[in-house]
């Protein structure tokens, strides 16, 4: 059966389009990532300000508490001194009563001093905890800044790697005389084409069988392989039609027309083994459903 033909279509600038699309995707992903990082930095800054306010309030409370306790202690000291002075001037039972009162005041003074020391210790512990939280927040801010730097480095490295990969891809004319898209010769290059997202790619590894094998939405029947010359012959079954593709070479775009697609399908064989071929099928994404 004769192969179908299709008028050549323009394929110039394919590599530039691929590179441009990949750069746009990279910029979009990078923008979203920077947005997330900026949100995190804003949350951390708000937490930092809140902690500073809390420390300020604790200091104010501590100052008021300390002042009140100091006045109470000073008042008790004055009462103790007055009581002891009065006791020294009395005699007999009156002196005993005055001494007892002085001891009670001294006990109250000691208890008040202990309570004040406990309050100061508690406030100091709370301030220490807040300072630790502030240190942790500052450390997180530093980590976020480092993450931003790493993201910039990763984006630059990814862009450079994609540019190198795209530079290795080539476009050639298919066996129907139609200008092919970019051709991938290995898994890394195929991943770059997938990232572009212009076509659907289906990888295959086909051996010799008694009947056709499914590849994507078509079927392929492997008839012959010649590993020494990197040549092969297959039948392509699509739209209930069977077309022979005879004596094709490695990385040669084997094109065929499918009624539901405006552009040709392309079958690329990257490796020819004994009774086996390895490669991928590139199908247009925009297709017309069958009635």
- Domain extent listing, the chain: 27-166, 170-284
> pLDDT over 90 for what percent of the chain?
26
Q: What is the mean pLDDT of residues 156-160?
A: 61
- pLDDT tens digits for range 3-60: 444 444 444 455 666 666 667 777 777 777 778 787 777 878 787 777 777 777 777 7
- Whether the per-residue pLDDT at 154 is higher than 90: the answer is no
The Cα–Cα gap between 45 and 209 comes to 66
- In terms of average pLDDT, the best of 80-84, 112-116, 166-170 is 112-116
Instruction: Enter the pTM of the model.
Output: 0.49
- Whether the per-residue pLDDT at 258 is higher than 80: the answer is yes
- In terms of average pLDDT, the best of 145-154, 159-168, 182-191 is 182-191
| Residue 90: partners with Cβ closer than 8 Å, 6 or more residues away | 98
C-beta of residue 123 within 8 angstroms of C-beta of residue 61? yes
Q: Positive or negative, the Cα torsion across 220, 221, 222, 223?
A: negative
Q: Positive or negative, the Cα torsion across 51, 53, 56, 57?
A: negative
Radius of gyration of the chain (CA): 42
């Amino acid at each position: 059966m004769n192969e179908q033909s299709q008028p050549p279509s323009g394929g110039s600038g394919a590599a530039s389009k691929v590179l441009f699309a990949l750069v746009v995707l990279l910029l979009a992903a990078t923008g979203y990532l920077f947005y997330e990082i900026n949100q995190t930095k804003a949350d951390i800054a708000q937490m930092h300000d809140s902690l500073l306010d809390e420390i300020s309030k604790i200091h104010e409370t501590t100052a008021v508490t300390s002042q009140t306790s100091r006045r109470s202690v000073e008042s008790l000291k004055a009462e103790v001194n007055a009581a002891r002075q009065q006791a020294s001037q009395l005699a007999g039972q009156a002196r005993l009563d005055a001494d007892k009162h002085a001891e009670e005041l001294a006990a109250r003074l000691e208890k008040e001093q202990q309570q004040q020391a406990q309050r100061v210790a508690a406030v100091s512990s709370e301030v220490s905890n807040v300072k630790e939280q502030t240190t942790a927040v500052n450390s997180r801010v530093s980590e976020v800044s480092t993450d931003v730097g790493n993201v910039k480095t990763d984006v630059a490295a990814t862009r450079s790697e994609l540019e190198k990969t795209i530079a290795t891809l080539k476009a050639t004319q298919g066996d129907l005389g139609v200008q092919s898209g970019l051709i991938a010769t290995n898994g890394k290059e195929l991943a770059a084409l997938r990232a572009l997202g212009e076509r659907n790619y289906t990888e295959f590894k086909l051996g010799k069988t008694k009947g056709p094998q499914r590849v994507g939405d078509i079927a392929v029947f492997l008839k012959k392989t010649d590993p020494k010359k990197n040549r092969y012959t297959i039948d392509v079954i699509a739209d209930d039609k069977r077309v022979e593709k005879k004596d094709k070479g490695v990385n040669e775009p084997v094109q065929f027309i499918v009624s539901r697609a405006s552009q040709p399908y392309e079958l690329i064989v990257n490796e020819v083994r004994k009774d086996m071929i390895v490669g991928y099928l590139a199908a247009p994404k925009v297709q017309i459903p069958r009635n």
